[in-house]
Amino acid sequence: MKKIAKQIKDQFEKRYPRNFLIRKPVIGTMVFLIFIFGFVVIYQPLEVHGARSFSFDFTMLLYSIIISVSVFVLLLILKRIHFFSKNEEWNFFKELLFDLIILTGIGISAYFAGFVIEEPVPRWNLPTFFDSFRSALLLGFIPVLFFTILNIRYLFTPETSHDFILRDKPSEGKDAEELIHIISKAKKEELDFYPNQFIYAESQGNYVVFHLFIDGKPHEVMIRNSIKDIEQQLKVIPYFMRIHRAFIVNLNKVTSKTGNTLGYRLKLAGSNNIIPVSRQNTRSFDHLMK
């Protein structure tokens, strides 16, 4: 029994990419709009009907647009909340909570849309609210479930682990390397280091944090710049790779990787942090680590 409970717990905590709706709000919302409008018009479920002087199709289009716009706004809000914003920390629990929030937003927006679209009759009451909410959920559940099913396939993708032999040759030291000079957007900031001192760089808003290992001690230096600009400044070093939208790593420092083609998690010499490799970069990473 304990073993089964542990397996269930591990599945809930297993990390995988975020739901497509929150990763790509614009495209996701457009697909959502087309899905619910097409479904309602073709199958006409729940005895839906036209309102005011509108035709049935136009009424359903208005409802679909209002609900979809509400979903889009909700996605933008959730995207800014730290709990949902980290792609590498997404799991099945967050998936379920995300679905619940989106479905609740659909139900509420459909109820208030009725004040604009439907005939001017008393609607400010609980029976009307619950009826509208129920109908919206039954319609919105299908596209939301579609995106969730599309996403949780990652739960069943097997993971592998691989250890690497460090490629650095400490004996070569500074004499065999050229000093790297980093240019900052802030005039008074500057940073110089040798390639074998660099572990990784991480984007944090308008800044990039350099994680270095100098004289046997870890160092962190924050520079005002974009990760894209830093990538251009470091591209002269062939074993420095941007593995994620927010990370550049020294491949010579990689000690192990865990994951699959949907994304890796790296351990680096000189750091206790786990660094993600995005799905788009797994193939390039494997090629350079051969």
- From the number of C-beta atoms within 10 Å of its C-beta (0-12, 13-18, 19+), residue 219 rates as middle
Average pLDDT over residues 20-47: 84
Helix, coil or strand: residue 34: helix
pLDDT category of residue 52 using cuts at 50, 70 and 90: low
User: The tokens 């691989």 sit on which residue?
Assistant: 162
Share of the chain above pLDDT 70, in %: 89
From residue 280, how far is each of 18, 24, 134, 199, 290 by CA, in Å? 14, 15, 39, 21, 18
**Do the strands 240-244 and 217-224 form a parallel or antiparallel pair, or are they unpaired?**
unpaired
- Write down the pLDDT at residue 259: 86
Three-state DSSP class for residue 117: helix
The residues, any chain, with a CB within 8 Å of residue 167's CB and separated by 6 or more, are 239, 251, 252
The Cα–Cα gap between 86 and 84 comes to: 6
* Overall pTM > 0.75: no
Instruction: Average the pLDDT over each of 9-23, 89-103, 246-260 and give the range with the smallest value.
Output: 9-23
222: β partners: 209
**52 in Cβ contact with 62 (< 8 Å):** no
Q: What does the pLDDT look like over 243-260, one tens digit per residue?
A: 999 999 999 999 999 888
Q: Which has more pLDDT, 164 or 52?
A: 164
Q: Is the pLDDT score of 238 beyond 80?
A: yes
Residue 135's φ and ψ, nearest 5 degrees, are -65, -40
Most confident residue range from 39-48, 50-59, 69-78, 149-158: 69-78
**Lowest-pLDDT choice from 46-50, 102-106, 259-263:** 46-50
Question: For residue 173, what pLDDT band results from cuts at 50, 70 and 90?
Answer: very low
Contact 16, 89 (CB under 8 A): no
Q: Is the pLDDT of residue 230 over 70?
A: yes
Answer whether residue 205 shows pLDDT above 60: yes
Share of residues in the chain with pLDDT > 90 (%):
44
Report how far residue 40's alpha carbon sits from residue 55's, in angstroms, rounded to the nearest whole number.
13
**How far is the C-alpha of 46 from the C-alpha of 134, rounded, in Å?**
10
- Cβ-proximal residues to 211 (8 Å cutoff; 6+ apart), any chain: 198, 199, 200, 201, 202, 218, 219, 220, 270, 271, 273
| Most confident listed range (140-149, 160-169, 231-240) | 231-240
147-165 mean pLDDT: 82
- The region of weakest confidence among 104-108, 122-126, 129-133 is 122-126
* Complete domains list, the chain, with CATH: 2-156 (no CATH), 160-288 (2.40.50.1020)
Backbone angles phi and psi of 188, in degrees to 5: -85, -5
CA–CA dist 28, 143 (Å, integer) = 10
63 falls in which pLDDT band (50, 70, 90)? confident
DSSP lists the bridge partners of residue 267 as: 256, 274
Backbone angles phi, psi at 180, to 5 degrees: -95, 130
Which residues does 24 contact at the CB level (< 8 Å), separation at least 6?
none
pLDDT of 172: 44
- Burial (CB count <10 Å: 0-12, 13-18, 19+), residue 97: middle
The alpha helices in the chain, defined as continuous H runs, are 2-13, 20-23, 25-43, 56-80, 82-85, 92-117, 126-152, 227-234, 282-288
Check residue 45 and give its pLDDT. Answer: 56
* Confidence at residue 53, expressed as pLDDT on a 0 to 100 scale: 66
CA 196 to chain centre: 31
